[in-house]
Amino acid sequence: MFVPTPTENTAVTAPRTARHAWQRVLWLVAGWLALLLGVVGAFLPLLPTTPFVLLAAFCFSRGSARWEHWLIHHPRLGPMVRDWRATRAVPLRAKQLATVMMTFSCLWAWWVIPSVWRWAPAISCACVALWLWRLPTRR
């Protein structure tokens, strides 16, 4: 069995370090993409904001401690991440509001989207609503 000497050890671990750096870049790109979708979701009715911000926090936690810290301490986005991490529960009012908004968005999409794709938003929103209502409720 081959046992590397201390000078050979750096040559053996170098590819792992490069792969780790590559993974960090992917996590950062995924985090920024999720955060961008979350910000856009604040203005568009079919995109939810909170799940994308939580996904961004998850990605940043694996890609960069600095960006995770920034997101957690952000004045507008940080409270939802901190609250989720502390309780793993969603307020009842948030569940109700999200369900109503998704319903109105799906109805609006039904009239705007061509007939072949009309069911796509409804199916997506139904999956999100099912996931959301299965989470613990914080009153």
Distance CA 45, CA 34 (A): 16
Backbone angles phi, psi at 43, to 5 degrees: -110, -20
Contact in structure between 60 and 31 (CB atoms under 8 Å): yes
Write the CB contacts of 49 (distance below 8 Å, at least 6 apart in sequence).
38, 39, 41, 42
pLDDT of residue 20: 85
pLDDT of residue 101: 87
Length of the chain (residues): 139
pLDDT of residue 49: 85
Radius of gyration of the chain (CA): 20
pLDDT of residue 19: 56
Distance CA 51, CA 9 (A): 42
Per-residue pLDDT of the chain (139 residues; tens, 9 = 90+): 444 455 544 444 444 455 588 999 999 999 999 999 999 988 887 677 888 999 999 999 999 999 999 999 999 999 989 999 999 988 888 889 889 988 998 999 999 998 888 999 999 999 989 998 999 998 7
Q: Which residues pair with 137 in a beta bridge?
A: 90
